Every structure is written in structure tokens, then in C-alpha cells.
Structure 1
Amino acid sequence: MTRRRPLRSATADEMLTTLGRLTDRVRQGAERQQARVELAEALQRSMLPAGLPAVPGLRVAAAYAPARNGLDIGGDWYDGFVLPDGSLGFSIGDVQGHDVEAAAFMGQVRIGLRAVATATPDPGEVLRRANELLLSVDHGLFATCSFLRYHPATGELESARAGHVPAVWATAAGDGGIVEEEAGVPLGILPGELYPVQRRRLSSGGAFVLLTDGVVEGPSYPLEAGLEAVTRLVRSAVQQDVDAEELAAQVMEAAALTEHTDDAAVLVLLHDPVEAAAAVRDASGIG
């Protein structure tokens, strides 16, 4: 009499085979998803500057974190470049939307700001002209933005803001806070908008930190609380003489507390006292 194979053994074999197939499918799906995420991140990063300018007495660093939802490509950017007169231009901003169209529009805004900045030295005028330019192309999207111009010879920093998150500052003396300045509406909304300019002299050593809302705001984390937390962090970092790259990384790490799924960008300007920076420039022969 032939003995039949126990039913439970056959069932166990089938379960193992099925489990193996499912594991392979999950693994392949995860690999495909990871590839898609990496592709999205590469696309976003390709639209950011390869490097940032610096002069004696000023160290500049940036950090960027992509959106956490895979292919939700964000429109956050940062930028820094040398202007024809030797001053430095900086911008940071956030385009409405989270898709390839928003990312492409972000690239256009960033390059447009560079082009306009070479034609006028005034940050408010840069934003005004950029606003009119975006309205003329009738893209249907808008962007918040801050634009700054730094004068190495005097340590003067000029800034204008178009509906963007305010900057944070701190000095080596232990002072610090949120930059209080009037701001115009985001770019691409209203024609004829004017953007007030604030001027400050970075006479003492310290930090000036620009960021996007993905760093300081989350679903249950108010913007004010995020800005206050970053202010405390920046003040402590300046007191500990943290370098620009490390400070940018610390601010970006703090963004995880907001549980924000949006992308995020940070731009750090660490400055020496004007007198010390001027001494370095004179010693190096830089005018």
C-alpha cells in the first residue's frame, strides 16, 4: 500500500514557495521605489548651485533635504553668486506645488533672479523686476523668496523679502532673534508690487541664517515655535564657534522635529567682525 504524503507538508511547501515569490516581489518593488526616489532627488539637486561664493570674513554653507513622499519633488531652492561689482548675491525660496512642473519653475525663478541682479544693485528692485517677469510668462505658479546682497568692503547686508519665512540671526556676544522686516507679497501674484529693503551692518561676528518653511513648520508645529527653536540653536552654535557647514547640518536636523513632509533648504552666512574681515582682506590683497 502506497503511503500518501501528509497534507500539511504539501501545504507547508506551497506556503514557503508563495512566501518566497512574495518576498522577491516586495524586494523588487522596494528597489524600484528607491530608484524612483533617488531619481527625483537627483533631479532636484541638479537644479541647485554646484558651489557657493565666499570672501575673507564670510563663510557660506547650505543644506537641502528632499520631500519625504518619494516623487513629491519640491520647489525649494537656495543660491549664491558673485555680482559684477564684487558684492555677493544670495537667494532662497519656495515655489508653490510639489511636482516636476514646480521643480522646473523653481529653476527658472532662480536663474531669473541671477539675471535681474546683474542689472540692478537694489534687492527690492531685483524682486520687483522678477515679479513682473514671472507675471509676464503667465505660468500660474507663485514663489516666496528672500534676496540679499552682501558688500565685503563694508560688511553691509541688504535684504528684501517676498512673502518668505524671515531669517534668523545671532552674534558672538550672545544676542539673537528673528529678523523683523516688512515683506511684499510672493512673486507672481500682483503686478506693480514693491519690496522694501532692510540694510544692516554686520559689525560683530555672528550668523545670519535663511531657511524655507519646511525647516520650521509642520502639521502640528507652528511657524513661530520653529523659528524660536532655530534661533536658540543658532545662538548656541555661534557661542560654540561651530563652522558654517556644521551649523547648516544642525539646523536641517532640527527640521525633523516639525514632522514636515515638504522639502527644506537652509542657507548659512557666518561673518567675522567687520574690522577683522577688513584686516584679512588687506593681508590677502583683496580690495
Structure 2
Amino acid sequence: MAAGREGEGAQRPPRPDLLARLDAEVGRIEEQLRALAAAKNRVEGLLEAVVAITREVELPAVLHRIVTTAMDLVGARYGALGVLDESGEFLEQFIVVGLSEQERSALAEVGFPRGLGVLGHLIRHPEPLRVGDISSHPSSVGFPPGHPPMRTLLGVAVSVRGEIYGDLYLSERRDGQPFDVRDESILVALASAAGIAIESVRLFEQIRAGSELFQRRLLPTLPDMRPFAAAAVYRPAAEPHHVGGDWYDAVLLPDGAVAVVIGDVVGHDLHAAAAMASTRNMLRALLFTLRTPPSAVLAQLDRTLEAITDNPVTTTSLARIEPTGAAWRLHWSSAGHIPPLLITPGGRAEYLFAEPGLPLNVDSRQPRPDHTHPLPPDTTVVFFTDGLVEHPDHPIDESLNELAELATTYAALPLQDFVQALADHHPSDAHDDMAILALRTPR
């Protein structure tokens, strides 16, 4: 009896069918977890991709980034973005990624697609398109010579403000599988973000162009400075909303001297631009009415600004290039501004470091120093704002040395080409606007 009771209390081994059902359920849960992890990775990748696209501030870079991002998200070997022309019927631009240099050269001879065949089908029917075999699609017209073999296609339209801007295409998954509904969903989501990014960068370019035009109209056209050569250049900041306070000016004075001014109002907004314009106009009036050294002109300007404006702090350098016998001399005073750069006839660069004085709108009671330096024939003097040399990752001395090397490299150029070269190859990070004014004494 005891033995019987002991046997009855023992656990029975699980049935094989129950184990099989448990294994199947565990497998199903594992598959769901893998699918959730893959979906999470795709969403995170999409978010990272959107952030990367919106960082670009030039339209060509945005379009190229859209293509490469789509390829990365889906794992495609080839990608392209076709931009429609004004008619909306053909492609006027085709950005392609994934081709070898040999393939690009071969296709360059026949030209990139304009929107015929399967690509044209997507233009006429802007719904997402998945094709397992391009050659069997009713709209297929084949590939031109030199085109790499492509079998699969995934395409979606890119809209900007409700209008079709172009089409995004992918071909050939790297794992050899056809594109699936998840690939289509991720590409549709990316195309939506791409439309916003394209619209943003177009607005960016409009604002930047408007800001630059506004700034340039505040700056003067240099007068005929003979016997001197003179040239100036202004470059706006990279940020579209920056309306800068940099300015330059040059004035032929009644006593035969030439007045040269460079300045920078603190700030990057309309208030800074307005302050720049008012300061420049006041200084011009003072130059024609006062027959005093540059330091006295700046002192009077500072007192006037303090009395009748609320302008921001401003740095500036005011110089007179005066005849002295058969040569010339530079007579200048600085209000907290970067020193001018002197390029001698032999090509040596030298900064005219001197006591700078306080910027304008700080303390008009403080004295302002004057400085002089001889200017032999064929000497170039370069006045510039700090936007030309400021870089957050480099000490200012390093940037000044780099600018001096640039100046000696291009010193033999005509003066307008010279200032353009300095603006093109500047050592700054372009976060600020920059102005350059150069004057060269006669030979």
C-alpha cells in the first residue's frame, strides 16, 4: 500500500506534444522580440537619419545626404534622387550614389535619366513603387550601355509643400532579397522628412541671400582712389539669420589724404546692422568737418554715439594715408580693433601692433592713442574684421599667422584678386561675417 501511494505521488514526465508546443511558443516569442528589436533599430536609424539630413545647410549636400541615408537604412547597393523640372514631367537633375567611376564615365556619355521607363511611371503615378524585376515591368525600356545590372527597384515620391519635388529610388538590396513592405515604410517616412529638409534649406538660402543683399546695400562703393589702388570684399556669416555689423569705408579728404575705416558692431541682427549704418554715416560727416588726427575723430564719434544713440559696443580702426615728401605714411587710431596687416614690396607681412584703445560705447572719457608708420611705394595695407580669423578651435595668434602667410602667397595679385583670395582661403570657421579693405601705394 505504501509503495502504491509513493508511486501515485511521483510526478509524471511531461508529454512530448506539450514540450513541442512550449518550444514553438518560445520560438514565436523570440521571433517577436527579434522583430521588435529590428523595428526599434530601424526607428532609431530613421531618427538619426532625419537629424543628419537637417544638419546640412546647402541644397546639393542635402540631396546627396538623402540618397546615402536611404541606402543605409534599407541596405541598398544603389540609390538616386531625381529632381523634376518646372513642368513636373521630366528630371532636370539626377543625384546617383553607388556607381563606380568606370560606370559613371560610361553613363556620362549617354547622359543620366530624364524620367522615362519605370522612372517615368513613378513620375506619372507618385505612389510608392516596388518592383521585383525591372525588365518585366510594363513601363520598362531597358538600360543604356554601361549601366550596371539592376533587377529590383523601390521608389517613392518626395513632396515639398504638397507639390512633387522629385523621386527617391533604391535598387538591389545588399543581402540579395527583394524590397519588402518594411523597406517601403521606412523609405516613405524618410521621403517625408526629406521634403521638410529640402524646404528648410531652400528657405535658408532665400534668407541668406536676402541678408547678404541687405548688408551689401549698407556698404559703400569705393571711390576712385588714384594714385592708390583699393579693393574691398564682404562675406556674410554662414548662418542665414545673421545680419552682421561689419563695415568698411574709404573717403578722399579735402587735404589730399585718404581716410580708411574698418569696423565691427557687436551683434548679428537688424539692430547691429542699423547701428553699423548710423556709425558709418556719423564718421563720414566728422571726417569732412574735422581737421584733426584720427584719435580725435574717434573720440568725437564716441561722445556723439554715447549722447544720442543706444548702439552696441563697436570696434573700429580709422586711418589716414597722408603724403609725406615723396612717399606716404599711415596715421591711425584703433578702438579695440584688430591691427592692420602690412605687406612690403619684398613680400614680407607685418602686423602693426600698437595700443588699441577702448572700443566705442564703452567709456568716452578715456584718451585715444595715435600711431604712424611709413608706407614705401608698392606697399599694401590690409584692414579686416575678426570674422576673417576667428576659429573656436584655433588660438587667434595661429590664425593671424596663417592669414599673414596667405597674404604673402597672394601679394603679387591685382588688389581685387588679392582680397578675394584672402576671403576664399580665410583661416576662420565662417561663423561670423567678414570684411576686408586693402589699399596699395603707387610704385
TM-score in same-fold range (> 0.5):
yes
> Is 1:272 aligned to 2:436, yes or no?
no
> Is 1:151 aligned to 2:322, yes or no?
yes
CA distance, structure 2, for counterparts of residue 165 and residue 198 of structure 1: 14
- How far did 1:82 drift? 1.7
CA distance, structure 2, for counterparts of residue 30 and residue 95 of structure 1: 28
% of aligned pairs identical? 28
Deviates more, 1:120-129 or 1:227-236: 227-236
CA distance, structure 2, for counterparts of residue 216 and residue 23 of structure 1: 35
Deviations 1:9-43 (A, max 9, x none): 88888777766655444433332221111111111
The aligned runs of 1:1-287 (5 Å cut-off) are 22-56=193-227, 58-121=228-291, 122-151=293-322, 154-238=327-411, 241-255=412-426, 257-273=427-443
Could you tell me which runs of 5 or more consecutive residues in structure 2 were left unpaired when the two chains were aligned. 1-129, 131-178
- How far did 1:67 drift? 1.0
Query: Could you say what secondary structure the match of 1:106 adopts?
Result: helix
Greater relative contact order (Cα < 8 A, sep 6+): 1
- How far did 1:198 drift? 1.5
8 Å CA contact retained: 2:275, 2:311: no
8 Å CA contact retained: 1:145, 1:164: yes
- How far did 1:85 drift? 2.6
Residues 151, 263 of structure 1: alpha-carbon distance in 2 compared, 3 angstrom cutoff: same
- How many residue pairs were aligned? 263
Superposition TM-score, scaled by structure 1 size:
0.83
- How far did 1:147 drift? 0.5
Query: Could you say what secondary structure the match of 1:118 adopts?
Result: helix
Letter in structure 2 aligned against 1:67: A
CA distance, structure 2, for counterparts of residue 202 and residue 15 of structure 1: 66
CA distance, structure 1, for counterparts of residue 199 and residue 405 of structure 2: 44
CA distance, structure 1, for counterparts of residue 398 and residue 373 of structure 2: 25
CA distance, structure 1, for counterparts of residue 422 and residue 187 of structure 2: 48
CA distance, structure 2, for counterparts of residue 158 and residue 206 of structure 1: 15
Query: Could you say what secondary structure the match of 2:369 adopts?
Result: coil
Letter in structure 2 aligned against 1:93: G
Residues 64, 9 of structure 1: alpha-carbon distance in 2 compared, 3 angstrom cutoff: same
8 Å CA contact retained: 2:305, 2:311: no
8 Å CA contact retained: 1:169, 1:231: no
Query: Could you say what secondary structure the match of 1:155 adopts?
Result: strand
CA distance, structure 2, for counterparts of residue 139 and residue 62 of structure 1: 29
Could you tell me which runs of 5 or more consecutive residues in structure 1 were left unpaired when the two chains were aligned. 1-5, 274-287
- How far did 1:251 drift? 1.4
Deviates more, 1:120-129 or 1:198-207: 198-207
8 Å CA contact retained: 1:77, 1:106: yes
- How far did 1:51 drift? 2.8
Residues 12, 179 of structure 1: alpha-carbon distance in 2 compared, 3 angstrom cutoff: closer
8 Å CA contact retained: 2:294, 2:319: yes
CA distance, structure 2, for counterparts of residue 13 and residue 98 of structure 1: 44
Residues 232, 20 of structure 1: alpha-carbon distance in 2 compared, 3 angstrom cutoff: closer
CA distance, structure 2, for counterparts of residue 11 and residue 267 of structure 1: 58
Superposition TM-score, scaled by structure 2 size:
0.55
Deviations 1:36-71 (A, max 9, x none): 111111111111112344112x11111111011111
Letter in structure 1 aligned against 2:410: A
CA distance, structure 2, for counterparts of residue 141 and residue 271 of structure 1: 34
CA distance, structure 1, for counterparts of residue 331 and residue 233 of structure 2: 22
